[in-house]
């Protein structure tokens, strides 16, 4: 039997047979029934792009005016190695930085701390000191690019470092553009990289709102994230509903601080997942804009049109990537990214083919970036605004998602809001239930994962391309640099700055200026976090 005959017998014929098999029922991941066709009379009245409630887009021209920002989430090892990767990506056409931080940085520990051992630089870049941030941003044109930093519990510290580096270079604060994730509530729900109790964490979030409103008006002060909620196993509907419930909590916290919704509302941003169910995802993005506009106008009384516009970043779904036949991940990512573009995202990250196995290699990251560029420049998908508007099916899904999201929001309100739902485990239980149901469908074969539970080629995927590995020596050298940084400073000045920060934490003063003063006195990220731990305590500890 020659190679072609083997391929025909072992792969093509079983594929053809199984392809004919179809499900008895057709439903989206949110359980929305998929009819064979849709009655057009069911659709809600449409709105034009750039007009309330912004279903078709927040800007009249959308991509006809400019493409979405193409970001590739990157960061590993030391600041130096990450800086080199950023330069490569910018040279290949990336239009914004997106910084991943390692777990010690996310949890408020320096690279030389004993709990950081083995985790330094593993899932992102290690940033403990101002010197680390200076190296990370070396040669980056901060006044020309936008930077997204995926950081939450220590967001105020990393934002302060970024601002201070820009100040050292003479870049004025109003010229800085970017986003700090700063979404601590979803950490309690889905990720776990929280430090302080919810009340104290919300205070820091509101302090960032206030500080940036005065000092960094072009900076998005929060990226309220449904991405991680979806990665934890939620449905598309739950992704929107629980994220908007968190948004309500943040807005109420800011209002209680005396901030103006028409002012801070313009710098709120969101972060959605681009999952596999193509049409449901497109409808999800459309529904999210409509829900947010109504929420801001009808619930919070926002009148500035820019405070009603939901702007969001999207990342393709890491949870859908397979360790088997990883080349198939390129196709998954391409379709997920196309859905995000057709849904009108303002910013996009495409995952790399090898991320189910390791951090992406430079080659894999380039393929992921090229995926966005091909969609933008070759497909024509960006030539008209909301190209699927008026599709009976897409409009039907948009309406159904919106209806189900409002039902969830009403339940959360009745239970006392997001913090109460987190403390009682409501969000966590709902997500776990959905995740279990999805796992059962996959294991039974009802939901097909190509190359995993159907069309599996046992001879494929045995040899992977070279994977990225973090150099263990870099971890040791990073810890040594942090220890040297601590030895070479004025420890008395640093201690005074930290005491002033603690005093501010015990009162009601905005913490961001005190954090910046501590950094200027050469305090580290871990020491600032410890100072706040001593006042606020640790959640669950």
Q: Which CATH class is domain 40-444?
A: alpha beta
Which of 201, 204, 155 is closest to 180 using CA atoms? 155
Residue 478's contacts (CB-CB under 8 Å, 6 or more residues apart) are 77, 78, 111, 120, 121, 126, 128
- CB 124: neighbour CB atoms within 10 A? 24
* Residue among 341, 331, 355, 289 nearest 450 (CA): 331
CB 268 within 8 A of CB 221: yes
For CA atoms 213, 218, 223, 224, the dihedral sign is: positive
Contact 223, 271 (CB under 8 A): yes
Three-class SS of residue 255?
helix
Q: What is the pLDDT tens value at each position of the chain, 541 positions in all?
A: 666 677 667 666 665 555 555 555 788 888 898 887 666 665 555 678 899 999 999 999 999 989 999 987 667 778 998 899 888 888 888 777 889 899 999 999 999 999 999 999 988 999 999 999 999 999 999 999 899 999 999 999 999 999 999 999 999 999 999 999 999 999 999 999 999 999 999 999 999 999 999 999 999 999 999 999 999 999 999 999 999 999 999 999 999 999 999 999 999 999 999 999 999 999 999 999 999 999 999 999 999 999 999 999 999 999 999 999 999 999 999 999 999 999 999 999 999 999 998 878 889 989 999 999 999 999 999 999 999 999 999 999 999 999 999 999 999 999 999 999 999 999 999 999 999 999 999 999 999 999 999 998 876 555 567 876 767 788 899 999 999 999 999 999 999 999 999 999 999 999 999 999 999 999 999 999 999 999 999 998 5
Token pair listed for 265: 């509302």
CA distance 222 to 151: 10
Predicted pLDDT of residue 48: 85
CA 472 to chain centre: 28
CA distance 409 to 333: 30
**Strands (E) located in 84-186:** 96-100, 146-150, 177-180
- Residue 408's closest CA among 437, 425, 430? 430
Angstrom distance (rounded) from CA 289 to CA 310 = 5
CA 218/CA 373 separation, integer angstroms: 26
Task: Find tokens 């989430």 and name the residue.
Answer: 73
Whether the link from the prior residue into 53 is cis, omega within 30° of 0, is yes
Q: Are 46 and 390 in contact (CB under 8 A)?
A: yes
Q: Output phi, psi for 116, to 5 deg.
A: -85, -10
Residue 90 pLDDT: 85
Pairwise CA distance, residues 507 & 110, whole Å: 26
Reading across the β-sheet that carries 312-316, which strands appear in turn? 219-220, 177-180, 146-150, 96-100, 69-74, 347-349, 312-316, 268-274, 222-225
Contacts of residue 305, defined as CB under 8 A and 6 or more positions apart, other chains included, come to 52
Q: CA-CA distance, 78 to 59, in Å (whole number)?
A: 39
Q: Counting beta carbons within 10 angstroms of the beta carbon of residue 55, is it exposed (0 to 12), middle (13 to 18) or buried (19 or more)? A: buried
Closest CA to 96 of 364, 438, 345, 276: 345
**What's the pTM?**
0.91
**Distance in angstroms (rounded) separating the CA atoms of residues 433 and 447:** 16
- The DSSP result for 286-326, as a single string, is HHHHHHHHHIIIIIT---SHHHH---EEEEE-GGG--SSST
Contact 324, 452 (CB under 8 A): yes
Rounded-to-integer distance, Cα 464 and Cα 475, Å: 26
Q: For residue 146, which phi and psi values (nearest 5 degrees)?
A: -105, 145
In angstroms, rounded to a whole number, what is the distance separating the alpha carbons of residues 316 and 77? 23
Q: Which residue has the tokens 């509907």?
A: 237
What gap in Å lies between CA 72 and CA 82, rounded to an integer? Answer: 12
Name the residue with tokens 């792969």.
Answer: 11
- Beta bridge mates, 315: 273, 349
Element of type H or E holding 281: helix 278-294
């Amino acid at each position: 039997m020659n190679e072609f005959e083997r391929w025909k017998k072992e792969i093509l014929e079983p594929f053809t047979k199984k392809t004919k098999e179809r499900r008895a029922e057709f439903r989206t991941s949110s359980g929305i029934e998929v009819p064979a066709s849709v009655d057009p009379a069911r659709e809600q009245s449409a709105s034009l792009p750039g007009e309330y409630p912004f279903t078709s887009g927040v800007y009249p021209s959308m991509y006809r005016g400019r493409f979405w920002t193409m970001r590739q989430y990157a960061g590993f090892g030391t600041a130096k190695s990450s800086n080199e990767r950023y330069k490569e990506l910018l040279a290949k056409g990336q239009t914004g930085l997106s910084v991943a931080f390692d777990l010690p940085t996310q949890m408020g520990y320096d690279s030389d701390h004993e709990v950081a051992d083995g985790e330094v630089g593993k899932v992102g870049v290690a940033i403990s000191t101002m010197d680390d941030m200076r190296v990370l941003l070396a040669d980056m044109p901060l006044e020309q690019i936008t930077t997204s930093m995926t950081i939450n519990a220590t967001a105020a510290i990393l934002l302060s470092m970024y601002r201070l580096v820009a100040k050292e270079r003479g870049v004025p604060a109003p010229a800085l553009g970017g986003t700090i994730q700063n979404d601590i509530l979803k950490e309690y729900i889905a990720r776990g990289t929280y430090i302080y109790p919810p009340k104290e964490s919300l205070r820091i979030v509101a302090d960032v709102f206030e500080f940036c409103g005065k000092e960094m008006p072009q900076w998005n002060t929060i990226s309220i994230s449904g991405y991680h909620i979806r990665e934890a196993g939620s449905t598309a509907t739950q992704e929107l509903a629980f994220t908007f419930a968190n948004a309500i909590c943040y807005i109420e916290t800011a209002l209680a601080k005396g901030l103006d919704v028409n002012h801070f509302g313009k710098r709120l941003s969101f972060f959605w997942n681009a999952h596999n169910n193509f049409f449901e995802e497109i409808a999800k993005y459309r529904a999210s804009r409509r829900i947010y506009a109504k929420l801001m106008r009808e619930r919070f009384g926002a009148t500035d049109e820019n405070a009603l516009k939901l702007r969001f970043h999207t990342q393709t779904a890491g949870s859908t990537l397979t360790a088997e036949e990883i080349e198939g991940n390129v196709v998954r990512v391409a379709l997920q990214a196309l859905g995000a573009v057709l849904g009108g995202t303002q910013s996009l990250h495409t995952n790399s083919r090898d991320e189910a196995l390791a951090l992406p290699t430079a080659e894999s990251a380039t393929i992921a970036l090229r995926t966005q560029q091909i969609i933008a420049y070759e497909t024509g998908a960006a030539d008209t605004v909301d190209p699927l508007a008026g599709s009976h099916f897409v409009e039907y899904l948009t309406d159904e998602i919106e209806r189900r999201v409002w039902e969830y929001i009403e339940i959360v309100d009745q239970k006392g809001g997001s913090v109460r739902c987190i403390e009682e485990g409501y969000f966590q239980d709902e997500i776990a239930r959905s995740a279990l149901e999805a796992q059962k469908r996959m294991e039974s074969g009802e939901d097909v994962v190509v190359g995993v539970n159907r069309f599996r080629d046992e001879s494929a995927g045995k040899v992977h391309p070279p994977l990225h590995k973090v150099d263990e020596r870099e971890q040791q050298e990073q810890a040594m640099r942090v220890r040297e940084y601590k030895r070479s400073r004025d420890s008395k000045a640093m201690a005074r700055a930290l005491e002033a920060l603690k005093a501010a934490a015990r009162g009601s003063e905005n913490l961001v200026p005190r954090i910046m003063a501590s950094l200027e006195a050469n305090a580290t990220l871990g020491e600032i976090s410890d100072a706040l731990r001593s006042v606020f305590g640790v959640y669950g500890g």
